[in-house]
Structure 1
Amino acid sequence: MANRLIRPAQLPNPYQVLKEHGLRPKKALGQNFLVDPNIPPKIAQSGGLKSGDVIFEIGAGCGTLTHCLGDLAQRVIALEYDEDLAPIAQAELAYAEHVEIRQGDIRALDWEALADEVGQELIVYGNLPYYLSSDILLALLNRPQVWRRACFLVQLEFAQRVCAPPGLRAAGSISALTHLLTYPSLLFEVSPQAFSPPPKVTSAVMVLERRDEWASDVGDLKTFRKVVKALFAQRRKMARASLKQIHENPERLLTELGLDPKSRGERFTLAEIALISKTLSRV
Structure 2
Amino acid sequence: MHNYYYQGHLARKCFGQHFLRDSNIIKSIVAAIDPQPSQAIVEIGPGLGALTKQVVEHLDTMTVIELDRYLAARLASHPVMQYKLNIVQQDAIKVNFADLSTKLGHKLRIFGNLPYNISTPLIFCLFRYIDVIHDMHFMLQKEVVNRLVASPNNKNYGRLSVIAQYYCQINQVLEVPPESFRPVPKVDSRVVRLVPYATPPYPVKDINQLSTLTRLAFNQRRKTIRNSLGNLFSVEQLLKYGIIATLRAENLSVEQYCCLASVLAERLT
Q: Are positions 1:75 and 2:65 aligned together?
A: no
Counterpart contact for 1:238–1:263, Cα < 8 Å:
yes
Q: Which ranges of structure 1 fall in alignment gaps of 5 or more residues?
A: 1-13
In the alignment, which residue of structure 2 is the partner of 1:282?
Answer: 266
Counterpart contact for 1:163–1:184, Cα < 8 Å:
yes
Amino acid in the other structure paired with 1:269: S
Amino acid in the other structure paired with 1:39: I
In the alignment, which residue of structure 2 is the partner of 1:225?
Answer: 211
Counterpart contact for 2:35–2:55, Cα < 8 Å:
no
Percentage of matched positions with identical amino acids = 27
Q: Are positions 1:92 and 2:82 aligned together?
A: no
The whole-number CA distance in structure 2 between the counterparts of 1:59 and 1:106 is: 8
Q: Are positions 1:197 and 2:183 aligned together?
A: yes
Q: Secondary structure at the match of 1:66?
A: helix
Aligned counterparts, 1:99-248, within 5 A: 99-245=85-231, 247=232
The whole-number CA distance in structure 1 between the counterparts of 2:149 and 2:111 is: 17
Counterpart contact for 1:160–1:186, Cα < 8 Å:
no
The whole-number CA distance in structure 1 between the counterparts of 2:240 and 2:34 is: 44
The whole-number CA distance in structure 1 between the counterparts of 2:108 and 2:69 is: 24
Write out per-residue CA displacement over residues 66-122 of structure 1, whole angstroms, 9 at most, x where no aligned residue. 011112334311111111111212233635633333322212212111111101100
The whole-number CA distance in structure 2 between the counterparts of 1:47 and 1:73 is: 13
Write out per-residue CA displacement over residues 205-242 of structure 1, whole angstroms, 9 at most, x where no aligned residue. 01100110112022321111111112211122111111
Q: Secondary structure at the match of 2:10?
A: coil
In the alignment, which residue of structure 1 is the partner of 2:7?
Answer: 17
Give the root-mean-square deviation of aligned CA atoms.
1.9
The whole-number CA distance in structure 2 between the counterparts of 1:142 and 1:68 is: 29
In the alignment, which residue of structure 2 is the partner of 1:262?
Answer: 246
The normalised TM-score by structure 2 is 0.91
Q: Alpha-carbon deviation of 1:175?
A: 1.0
Q: In structure 2, which of residues 42, 47, 62 is the aligned counterpart of residue 61 of structure 1?
A: 47
Aligned residues: 264
Q: Secondary structure at the match of 2:118?
A: helix
In the alignment, which residue of structure 2 is the partner of 1:5?
Answer: none
* Structure 1 consecutive aligned stretches of length 4 or more whose deviation exceeds 6 Å: none
Change (3 A) 1:160 1:217: same
The normalised TM-score by structure 1 is 0.87
Counterpart contact for 1:15–1:35, Cα < 8 Å:
no
